[in-house]
Chain A
Amino acid sequence: MRLTVERRLEQPRWLGLVVPVVSVVFALLVAALVLLATGHDPLSSYRQLFDAAFLSTGSIDQTLIAATPLAFTGLAAAAAFRMRVFNIGAEGQLYLGAIVAAAAGLYLGGRGGASPGVIAAMVVAGAGGGAAWAAIPGVLRAFFRTSEILTSLMLNYVAGYLLTYLIFQSESYWRQTTGFNAKVFPTGKPLPSNAVWPPWLLHAQGGIDLPLGAGIALLAALALWVLYRRTRFGFEVQVLGDSEGAARYAGVRTRRKILAVMAISGALAGIGGASQVGDFAHALDGDPNGLQKQGYGYSGIVVAALGRYNPFAVLLIAFLIGGLDNAGNTLQGANFPSGLVGVIQGIILFSALGGELLVRHRPRVVRRASVAEATPLPGAVQ
């Protein structure tokens, strides 16, 4: 007797909505048991979680701040993973995007350009930096058939060391060198005011600050959706993702696609880096205890997978996961070990992962039999 899953013959659309919800509820039930076992009140914890993520004053602002980078890295992962190009390097591509965008902001802003122009230049610079960093594993995959999983992962570390080096271990262009504070502790040079990205004030729930990056992420999601669903390029990407053999048979130029997809993916992550500089830090954050501790690149992969690589779903999931991260900071404290937050988040992720499979597969118990018997005939009545 063994539990297995088999592909559904048809996938009702309601299942796509119901299963994730049930997964999360299931996860919360399991997590509630864990909380009870460790002596915490689940209801009160969940109330705090929800409150901190979405309900209390200023919570949406903070959730948006957490969600914006996740949206970019999530879109970056979705763009690549959809074609089965596993770009794990969004983390490093985000750093490179931040580095190049900060340089653009410092230089162009310092020369007194008009704010929209400087900001646009920062976005382009960030995209360029990220795309260039992603091109390395892209080229290696396209021309040398090297696994992009590991090359992009390795480059994350190199990017991190570079970022720290620029601020902590050198007197680089990005480093603040004037003023008393600069001598006390290494910090990045602050952006001139015309390079700071202005948030958009929404008049709802006491005023919500929508970061400019969030707006850009929305546009990027739209652009990605149009690219993948409404253009020939996107069609070929999807065919390559679903069946490489078929694509090659149809004459799709695989190498160029791989390069293009990696570049797009890296560019998206790079804009996320530009957003970090322009929206939030207003300088290049090279502190090893700062941006590098957040792991946005890796969380983006989780976001993309949960969103099944659909750009709009990615935005939604980024918002939810951002809320979860934000709430986790609230939940931890003297009475709530921070380790439990990770445990709860892990349970939710596992559950969502497992549940996601049930959308396309149904569970079955099979008796140990030969291959032929275990395979149901297509169209057979279940």
Chain B
Amino acid sequence: MTKRKLALGAIVLVAAVAAVALAVGVTAGSAKSNGAFKAAWIYVGPYNDGGWSQAHDEGRLYVQKALGKAVQTTYKENIAVGAQFAQTVASLAAQGYKLIFATSYGYVTPQLAQKYPNVDFEQATGTYVGKNVSEYFGAAEDTVFLSGIAAGAAAKCNTIGFVVAYPIPEVIRHTNAFALGAQLAHPGIKVRIVWTNSWYDPAKEKKAAQSLHGAGACVLGQNVDSPSTGEYAESVGIPWVGYDSDAHQFAPKSWLTASVYNWGPYYLRRVKAAMGGSWKPGFYYGTIADGFTKLAPYGKGVDTKARQLIAKQWMRLKKNRGAEFTGPLYDQSGKLRVPKGKKLTVSQLYSMNWLVKGVIGSPKG
């Protein structure tokens, strides 16, 4: 009997202490608002993945640095599409965050946005624009095209290997842009692709790179997020074009360049607009001209001739976004897809499901 009373007493005591501690914590910590504008970024992968999510986080840090104490930023990483995203938004909204950058397709649904009318959402790579939902992405295909030129110029044989993720339009148009660039610098060159069916899988990407090299590729490129392809390229001494980040430290000798996103300036503009009350939803498609996409610094493998060619094309694309997709363009079966002189619209780019002539591999995966 005594033991039972002792135990019960202990429980009550512990519970009481806990309750007091929590209560104190609540009252002491709740009045924490300091007038700063709160903006949050939500990532589908780790914030330091050296690729997609990290580039967004660098944009966030750019904003934090520029605005200092006037803004309070945070990020959430490894958030799955669906319920987990909804939970994260709910807690951010409850904590007073007014602007949320959702950096993966499928995050923001109309129903979710309607639930939080006082929060503004920015969805990357998506298509839905609503009262409080804005879309943003950019013409990375232009800089991927330029990086393709570097690859083509560095190729001493007739095949480039390209490691790709999912057979979706975004990846397909980047593949096409890369191939067109390579063909410009090295007419007749072929681009052989291998799908990994994952945005980030170092082991699979390395294996894909190995297979492509075995199939005769003497330059490697990628549209996936890890530097595995580059590490492999370095180990066998062939040039490498990266993607999404400046990863030259992973392959100092092989590194050529990469198409990188520069999210910072766009983020700063939007945060400022939201702070000032002038935020409006829209569909932003960034370009070379406004600094949204650019090339990472060149490696030693990019010779002068290639740099000049890239510079010339840079100027052309700066004035005319998407010019690399000007006809005549043929698909893999030889059918004319874009007539001479015509250019693909953004909408056509967003739904691209065919590969250009010279790409070896299936657009279906």
Contact = CB atoms under 8 A, between A and B. Distances in A.
Q: Do chains A and B touch in the complex (CB under 8 A)?
A: yes
Interface of A: 12, 14, 18, 21-22, 25, 28, 43-44, 46-47, 50-52, 56-59, 61-62, 65-66, 164, 168-169, 180-181, 183-187, 280-281, 285, 287-291, 293-294, 325-326, 329-330, 332-335, 338
A21 B81 contact: no
**Complex A-B, nearest 10 residue pairs according to Cβ-Cβ distance, in ascending order:** A183-B351, A330-B91, A47-B25, A293-B80, A290-B81, A333-B74, A334-B74, A62-B87, A43-B25, A56-B94
A21 B167 CA distance: 50
Given A183-B350, A287-B106, A47 B7 contact: no
A18 B7 contact: yes
Given A18-B7, A168-B197, A330-B91, 15 more contacts: A21-B11, A28-B18, A61-B90, A181-B128, A183-B353, A184-B105, A185-B170, A289-B44, A289-B104, A294-B84, A326-B91, A329-B79, A330-B87, A333-B76, A334-B75
Contact of B91 (A50, A59, A288, A291): A59
B347 A180 contact: yes
A303 B21 CA distance: 28
A184 B169 contact: yes
Contacts of B77: 332, 338
A50 B7 CA distance: 25
Nearest to A63: B87
9 contacts: A14-B8, A56-B94, A59-B91, A184-B105, A291-B80, A294-B82, A329-B79, A334-B75, A335-B74
Contacts, number: 137
A208 to B, nearest CB: 13
Nearest to B23: A47
B65 interface: no
A289 B81 contact: yes
A90 B346 CA distance: 43
A18 B365 contact: no
Interface in B1-52: 4, 7-8, 10-11, 14-15, 18, 21-22, 24-26, 29, 44
Nearest to A15: B7
Contacts of B76: 329, 332-333, 338
Given A47-B26, A66-B87, A185-B168, A14 B74 contact: no
A156 to B, nearest CB: 17
A183 B168 CA distance: 8
Given A12-B4, A65-B83, A180-B351, A185 B106 contact: yes
Contacts of B168: 184-186
Contacts of B78: 338
A59 B90 contact: yes
Interface residues of B, number: 54
A185 B81 CA distance: 13
A164 B87 CA distance: 23
A66 B83 CA distance: 7
A291 B106 CA distance: 12
B320 interface: no
Given A22-B14, A57-B94, A332-B77, A169 B365 contact: yes
B279 interface: no
B267 to A, nearest CB: 15
A51 B95 CA distance: 10
B86 interface: yes
A185 B105 CA distance: 8
Which one of B15, B76, B80, B87 has the greatest number of beta carbons of chain A within 10 Å?
Answer: B87
B73 interface: yes
A9 B303 CA distance: 83
B166 interface: yes
Contact of B94 (A14, A21, A58, A66): A58
B54 to A, nearest CB: 14
Interface string B253-282: 000000000000000000000000000000
A12 B5 CA distance: 13
Contacts of A326: 87, 91
Interface in B82-101: 82-84, 86-88, 90-91, 93-95
A180 B94 CA distance: 34
Scoring B8, B25, B104, B351 by chain A CB atoms within 10 A of each residue's CB, the highest score goes to B25
Nearest to A168: B166
Nearest to A282: B111
Contacts of A184: 105, 127, 168-170, 350-351
A187 B90 CA distance: 24
Interface string B91-133: 1011100000000111000000000000000000101100000
A324 B76 CA distance: 16
Nearest to A58: B90
Nearest to A337: B77
Given A14-B7, A180-B351, A289-B81, A329 B94 contact: no
A294 B169 contact: no
B128 A62 contact: no
